[in-house]
């Protein structure tokens, strides 16, 4: 997190924060920190209170991306309306927005450690118990989200396929997939679609269940952030993404393909144990998990900050995952 200095009085954001967020503070002073490319933290000097501001590019040529970013304010309110406005399972509180200046969202700042922190201490400090505990808490959070938002219709497989095709297309343009690779992936997707394994009822999913999008507070809370991508989907969409991210996080840092296996199984068991029929749920989820894990591995492989050979390895693992899931 880089410190950028104080927010200028002439900045249009200053007036927004003054009147809508800190009206009780006389002449507030805001210290600005860059959290990521379009996300900033603002800490008011006199009170020590912090908020987060998320922005979109006004002239962004990708309309879909603008709409997704602008939609997070409503997404947060929607999920909070399902009871995620209080501990221990919680979603950050949206405060205001102003699209005239590209301000998609002002939300409360949550003090906590993300899941990636606990992954790293499990790898580098040997503290496996802390990660097991956080994975159990995350499993309960996701179960609660999925259970409270159960829907009476089936997952739209076409929309899942569309997203998968976008990932494949991007990897092809990055020359990580050859034409024959793409052809094989399309055939595997067709086989998955024809298998009937993906036909299940929908719930509201987080949609971007990466290790940095869940915070764990000192009070034992689980807090979800970055809800741009919530969608009606399979429960295995979130579960498979967490498993795929765990696979990547350990493989990337340890070069050991099996280093994440005990954590993945623990997470799957923890999630399933919340149901009245845990064995049946475990069997059902693990039948679909390879599909969503593979999708996640391919999704991660698009990141060009990763080593080229490692990205190719992730793609290979995704192929193996898709094939293995069809044989079980």
CATH of the domain at 25: 3.30.200
Q: How far apart are CA 91 and CA 225, in angstroms?
A: 6
State yes or no: pLDDT of 328 exceeds 80: no
Mean pLDDT, rounded, for 101-115? 96
User: Is residue 140 domain-shared with residue 278, that is, in the same domain?
Assistant: yes
Mean pLDDT along residues 142-159: 97
Percent of the chain with pLDDT over 90: 95
Predicted confidence at residue 1, as pLDDT, reads 86
- pTM (two decimals): 0.95
Asked if the model's pLDDT at residue 79 lies above 90, the reply is: yes
Tell how many helices (H) and how many strands (E) occur in the chain: 11, 12
CATH code at 279?
3.90.1200.10
Co-location of 226 and 304 in the same domain? yes
Long-range contacts, stretch 268-273, CB < 8 angstroms, 24+ apart: 268/239, 268/243, 270/135, 270/136, 270/139, 270/140, 271/139, 271/142, 271/143, 271/239, 273/139
Res 274 pLDDT > 90: yes
d(C-alpha 297, C-alpha 299), whole Å: 5
d(C-alpha 165, C-alpha 158), whole Å: 10
Of 75, 108, 141, the last residue of a domain is 108
Structure confidence at residue 261 (pLDDT): 97
Do 142 and 290 belong together in one domain? yes
Residues 42 and 148 in one domain: no
Q: How far apart are CA 303 and CA 142, in angstroms?
A: 26
Q: Are 83 and 204 in contact (CB under 8 A)?
A: no
38-62 per-residue burial string, b: 16 or more CB within 10 A, e: under 16: ebbbbbbeeeeebbbbbbbeeeeee
Q: Which domain holds residue 323?
A: 113-327
Question: Are 213 and 275 members of one domain?
Answer: yes
Asked whether residue 14 carries a pLDDT value surpassing 90, the answer given is yes
């Amino acid at each position: 997190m880089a410190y950028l200095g104080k927010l200028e009085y002439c900045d249009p954001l200053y007036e927004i924060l003054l009147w809508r967020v800190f009206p009780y503070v006389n002449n507030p002073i805001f210290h600005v920190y860059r959290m990521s490319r379009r996300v900033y933290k603002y800490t008011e000097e006199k009170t020590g209170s912090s908020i987060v501001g998320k922005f979109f590019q006004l002239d962004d040529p990708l309309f879909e991306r603008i709409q997704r970013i602008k939609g997070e304010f409503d997404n947060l309110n929607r999920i909070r309306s399902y009871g995620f406005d209080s501990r221990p399972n919680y979603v950050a509180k949206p405060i205001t927005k102003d699209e005239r200046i590209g301000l998609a969202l002002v939300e409360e700042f949550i003090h906590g450690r993300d899941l990636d922190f606990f992954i790293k201490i499990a790898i580098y400090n040997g503290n496996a118990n802390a990660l097991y505990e956080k994975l159990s808490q995350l499993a309960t959070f996701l179960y609660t989200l999925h259970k409270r938002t159960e829907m009476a219709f089936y997952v739209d497989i076409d929309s899942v396929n569309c997203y998968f095709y976008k990932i494949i297309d991007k990897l092809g343009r990055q020359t990580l997939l050859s034409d024959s690779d793409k052809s094989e992936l399309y055939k595997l997707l067709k086989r998955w679609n024809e298998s009937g394994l993906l036909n299940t009822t929908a719930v509201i999913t987080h949609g971007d269940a990466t290790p940095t999008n869940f915070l764990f507070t000192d009070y034992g809370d689980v807090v979800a952030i970055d809800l741009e991508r919530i969608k009606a989907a399979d429960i295995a969409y979130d579960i498979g993404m967490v498993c795929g991210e765990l696979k990547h996080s350990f493989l990337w840092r340890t070069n050991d393909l099996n280093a994440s296996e005990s954590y993945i199984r623990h997470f799957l068991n923890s999630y399933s144990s919340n149901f009245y029929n845990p064995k049946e749920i475990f069997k059902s989820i693990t039948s679909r998990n390879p599909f969503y894990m593979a999708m996640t591995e391919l999704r991660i492989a698009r990141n060009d900050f990763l080593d080229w050979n490692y990205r190719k390895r992730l793609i290979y693992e995704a192929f193996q995952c898709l094939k293995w899931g069809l044989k079980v």
